[in-house]
Amino acid sequence: MDVNNINIDELLNKENTEQNSDNNKEETLEQRFSRERSEWTVKIQAMSAKMKDIFKVSELMTEIYTERQISVEYYHMLLTMLSKLNISYRKQWTEKYDFYSWKSQKRFPNEKTKELQILSEISDLTRKRELLDTHIKFTSATIGTIDNLIYGIKYKVEIEQISRGR
């Protein structure tokens, strides 16, 4: 997985579901995050499987720290993207709120109706924020799982030594 493969400009623009020159549909943000979650799940399962064999633990130790660093970098990149997305969200919200409050001929019976109108107009951005937030939570949990594996390596080695009578 390429950590730097998501572009914030692509995220902020409407998702392109039109066919490209190869007549293939581009991957949506939801599909991309789903694929990435599956990739991380497979990586975690492979690392967990290496815990069973004491002779693979040394290989696991080098792999696990590398994968943890990749996931941490990815997590922080996602947080940066969410921050930029939130800035765009607040800007659009403010512009639309000002428009409907002062410039529009359309009148709303109450503030809630105005807010619902604005939310419907920026629903694409809201959906992207929610998708990104969910993916960030998954990435954070993945880092926690890797940390648990790192913690478990010590005890795996101790148990193996006890079983060999040391």
Whole-angstrom Cα distance, residue 75 to residue 71?
6
Question: Could you read off the pLDDT tens digit of each residue along the chain, which spans 166 residues?
Answer: 454 456 666 665 644 443 344 445 678 889 999 999 999 999 999 999 988 888 888 889 889 999 999 999 999 999 999 999 999 999 999 999 999 999 998 899 999 999 999 999 999 999 999 999 999 999 999 999 999 999 988 888 888 888 887 6
Residue identified by tokens 């694929």 is 35
| Predicted structure pTM score | 0.80
Domain regions of the chain by residue span: 29-102+109-163
Which are the contacts of 8, defined by CB distance < 8 A and separation ≥ 6?
80, 81, 84, 85
Q: Which among 9, 68, 25 is positioned nearest to 43, based on CA atoms?
A: 68
Asked if 66 contacts 150 with a C-beta cutoff of 8 angstroms, the reply is no
